[in-house]
Amino acid sequence: MTPYLELAATLAEEGQHTGAEVLWKYCVEEGTQDPSVIFNVGRMIQAQAKEPWRKAESLEWYERFITHPDASLPDKSDALQNIGCLMHQNGRPDKACIAFNLALQIEPENKIARRNLAVALEQCARFDEADAEYVAILQKDWNDAGAHFSRGMIALLFG
Mean per-residue pLDDT for 12-18? Answer: 93
Could you give the count of Cα atoms lying within 13 Å of 52 in the half-sphere of its Cβ?
4
- Cα 127 to its chain centre, rounded Å, is 22
What's the pLDDT at 15? 92
Q: Which of 35, 93, 29, 26 is nearest to 63 (CA)?
A: 35
pLDDT tens for 25-78 read 999 999 888 999 999 999 999 999 999 899 999 999 999 999 999 999 999 999
This model's pTM is above 0.75: yes
**Single-letter code of the amino acid located at 155:** A
131, 139 in Cβ contact below 8 A? no
Percent of the chain residues past pLDDT 70, beyond the cut: 99
